[in-house]
Amino acid sequence: MLKYNTLKYFFWGISVAAILYFFYVQKIYPIFYLSIALVWLIYVIVGAFRMRAEIFLPSVSSLPHASKNTILITFDDGPHPEITPQILTILRQAHAKAIFFCIGKNMDRYPDIVKQIVAEGHLIANHSYNHSNFIGTYSTEKVKAEILQTEETIIKLVGSSLKLYRPPFGVTNPNIARAVSALNMKVVGWNRRSFDTVSKTKEEVLKRITPDLKKGDIVLFHDTNALTPAILTDFLLFASNKGFIFEVSSPFEI
Ligand SMILES: [Zn+2]
């Protein structure tokens, strides 16, 4: 997909050319300008909500070149005082490792769970401090503050950070891109979204994430959702029967 930083000049160019044409050559129907604006709007909206398109920033959404037959399991939004410990038990029983993209304020609230996650061999990564619904409207400085505050919490509790960031809701835009780049964070997305938080049954979720499972797929779950432990149990059984393993290291080192 074409990068925002390249395409914005192209759109500016077309707009300026159209204005000059209007004044110096002949009138242009308003529909022409509306069409340009509409195409631009669609492009920006797709870029904002589809991180995998990498319109605003580079990100990893799958690891097809992984050396082993690995599926990368990821959990967002925790730690949660009840669900996360259940998830940890299930992972332990299945000899599976995962990355937990934690919300900073939840880590400050449940530091012992963060330490338990790490003690069991999983990785902790950054999912902003407050996970605000409005983070897509934040200035670059405000996004930086969200990421930095969470990095400080990770270093305080874990001792070091992998500098991995997953934007809340997977939303990206130029401000988020600038913040991520200024702080040297690496962005991790997914290519299998379970929609576990909005699904009514585990069967619904499994039907969504199990077909055509491939090496290097990155699966997104939430360790804040009551249904997720049951989903995870069945998913791990299904995937291990297919020969997949669940190891972790930074996705950028696989
Ligand atoms: Zn989230």
- In the chain, domain spans: 4-49, 72-241
Distance from residue 197's CA to the centre of ligand 1 (Å)? 10
Rounded (5°) CA angle 104-168-111: 20
Ion ligand 1: residues, CB < 5 A: 76-77, 168
Instruction: Quote the tokens at residue 193.
Output: 């979204």
Rounded distance from Cα 130 to ligand 1 centre (Å): 10
Confidence of residue 238 (pLDDT cuts 50, 70, 90): very high
| 3-class DSSP assignment, residue 191 | coil
For the segment 221-231, the average pLDDT, to the nearest whole number, is: 97
User: What distance in Å separates the CA atoms of residue 65 and residue 216, rounded to the nearest whole number?
Assistant: 7
Closest CA to 196 of 78, 111, 47: 78
pLDDT at 40 > cutoff 90: no
pLDDT score, position 27: 78
Cα 69-74-77 angle, rounded to 5 deg: 180
Gap between the Cα atoms of 230 and 201, Å rounded: 10
What is the pLDDT at residue 250? 64
Can 222 be counted among the known catalytic residues? yes
Residue 254 has what pLDDT? 46
Give me the CATH code for the 72-241 domain, please.
Answer: 3.20.20.370
The residue annotated as part of the active site, out of 77, 131, 222, 223, is: 222
The helix or strand, by DSSP H or E, that contains position 39, with its residue range, turns out to be helix 30-49
Beta strand 186-187 with 72-76: parallel, antiparallel or unpaired?
unpaired
Q: What percent of the chain has pLDDT over 90?
A: 72
What value does the mean pLDDT take over residues 198-212?
Answer: 94
Give me the mean pLDDT over the 153-177 stretch: 96
SS3 185: coil
Considering only CA atoms, which of 55, 59, 78 is closest in space to residue 174?
55
Please report the pLDDT score of residue 130 as a whole number.
98
Supply the mean pLDDT for the chain. Answer: 92
> Phi and psi of 107, rounded to 5°?
-65, -40
Stretch 122-138: mean pLDDT: 97
Residues 70-84 as b/e (b if ≥16 CB within 10 A, e otherwise) read: bbbbbbbbbbbeebb
pTM across the whole model: 0.89
